[in-house]
Structure 1
Amino acid sequence: MDRAELAGFLRSRRERISPADVGMAAGPRRRTPGLRREEVAQLAFISTEYYTRLEQARGPRPSGEVLAGLARALRLTDAEREHLHLLAGTPPAPAPGPCREVRQSILDLVHRLPQSAAFVTSATLEVLAWNELAAALMEDFSALSRRDRNLARRAFLGPRSGERLLYGVSDVAAFSRHAVHRLRTAAARYPDDPEVTGLVRELRSGSEEFARLWDSHDVDAQPAHRKTFRHPLVGPVTVDCDALDITGRDQQVVIYTAVPGTPSEEALRLLAVLGTQRMDTAR
Structure 2
Amino acid sequence: MNRGELADFLRRSRTRLAPSDVGLTAGARRRTPGLRREEVAQLAGMSVDYYTRLEQRRGSHPSRQMLNALARALRLTVDERDHLFHLAGEEPPRTGGSSTHVRPGLLLILDRLHDLPAQVLSDWGEVLAQNTMAVALSGEHTGENLVRRYFTDPALRAMVPPEDYETHARAHVAHLRAVVGARPDDPGPAALVAELRASNPHFADLWASHEVAVRHASTKRFLHPVVGTLDLDCEVLLSDGHDQQLIVHSARPGTDTYERLELLRVIGLQDLTPTGGSRG
TM-score after normalising by structure 1: 0.60
Deviation per residue, 1:176-208 (Å, 9 max, x gap): 222112222332343334332221111112222
* Cα separation, 1, equivalents of 2:207 and 2:148: 14
Change (3 A) 1:202 1:112: same
Q: Which residue matches 2:141? A: 141
CA contact (8 A) 1:171 1:224 kept: no
Change (3 A) 1:111 1:136: same
Q: Which residue matches 1:132? A: 132
Deviation per residue, 1:83-105 (Å, 9 max, x gap): xxxxxxxxxxxx82111111111
**1:166 deviation in Å?**
5.3
Task: Tell me the SS of whatever aligns to 2:237.
Answer: strand
CA contact (8 A) 2:178 2:214 kept: no
CA contact (8 A) 1:155 1:166 kept: no
Change (3 A) 1:237 1:272: same
CA contact (8 A) 1:99 1:249 kept: no
What number of residue pairs does the alignment pair up?
Answer: 193
The question of 1:23 aligning with 2:102 is answered: no
Deviation per residue, 1:42-89 (Å, 9 max, x gap): x9xxxxxxxxxxxxxxxxxxxxxxxxxxxx99x9xxxxxxxxxxxxxx
| Structure 2: segments with no counterpart, 5+ residues | 1-78
* Cα separation, 2, equivalents of 1:188 and 1:96: 16
What percent identity do the matched residue pairs reach? Answer: 36
Tell which deviates more after alignment, 164-173 or 130-139: 164-173
CA contact (8 A) 1:119 1:254 kept: yes
Change (3 A) 1:171 1:108: farther
Q: Which residue matches 1:209? A: 202
Q: Paired residue for 1:241, among 234, 244, 259?
A: 234
* Cα separation, 1, equivalents of 2:272 and 2:141: 13
Matches within 5 A, 1:156-175: 156-158=151-153, 162-163=154-155, 165=157, 167-169=159-161, 171-175=164-168
| Corresponding letter in the other structure for 1:226 | T
Task: Tell me the SS of whatever aligns to 2:269.
Answer: helix
* Cα separation, 2, equivalents of 1:178 and 1:225: 11
Deviation per residue, 1:112-164 (Å, 9 max, x gap): 1252111111021111111111110111235xxx3xx2110122112xxx446
CA contact (8 A) 2:158 2:223 kept: no
TM-score after normalising by structure 2: 0.60
| Structure 1: segments with no counterpart, 5+ residues | 1-16, 25-42, 44-71, 76-94
Q: Which residue matches 1:191? A: 184
The question of 1:272 aligning with 2:272 is answered: no
Matches within 5 A, 1:101-112: 101-112=101-112
Q: Which runs of 4+ in 1 moved over 6 A?
A: none
CA contact (8 A) 2:100 2:122 kept: yes
The question of 1:229 aligning with 2:229 is answered: no
RMSD, aligned α-carbons? 3.0
**1:173 deviation in Å?**
2.3
Q: Paired residue for 2:245, among 241, 252, 256?
A: 252
Q: Which residue matches 2:147? A: 152
Change (3 A) 1:164 1:233: closer
* Cα separation, 2, equivalents of 1:273 and 1:201: 41
Task: Tell me the SS of whatever aligns to 2:272.
Answer: helix
* Cα separation, 2, equivalents of 1:272 and 1:112: 14
Structure showing greater radius of gyration is 1
* Cα separation, 2, equivalents of 1:223 and 1:249: 12
* Cα separation, 1, equivalents of 2:197 and 2:216: 21
